[in-house]
Amino acid sequence: MQLVKAGDTVKVHYHGRLTDGTVFDSSEGRDPFQFEVGKGEVIKGFDEGVLGMKVGDKKTVQIPVEDAYGPEDPKMIMDFPVDRFPRDMKPEVGMQLNMTNSSGHNFPVIIAELKGDTVILDANHPLAGEDLIFDLELVEIKGASLIIMP
Pick the CATH number of 74-122 from 1.10.150.530, 3.50.50.100, 2.60.40.3950, 2.40.10.330: 2.40.10.330
The model carries a pTM of 0.81
pLDDT of 53 reads: 97
Distance CA 31, CA 120 (A): 37
Strand-pair category, 33-36 with 9-18: antiparallel
pLDDT in tens, 52-90: 999 999 999 999 999 999 999 999 999 999 999 999 999
Which residue ranges make up each domain of the chain?
A: 9-70+127-142, 74-122
Looking at the predicted structure, is the pLDDT value of residue 141 above 60?
yes
∠ Cα 101 104 105 (to 5°): 70
Q: How many other CB atoms are there within 10 angstroms of residue 61's CB atom?
A: 16
φ and ψ of 93, to 5 deg: -60, 135
Which is more confident, 101 or 38?
38
pLDDT of 96 reads: 94
Class of domain 9-70+127-142: alpha beta
Q: How confident is the model at residue 1 (pLDDT cuts 50, 70, 90)?
A: confident
Q: Output the average pLDDT for the chain.
A: 93
CA distances to 40, 43, 81 from 26, rounded to whole Å, are 20, 15, 37
Distance CA 145, CA 37 (A): 13
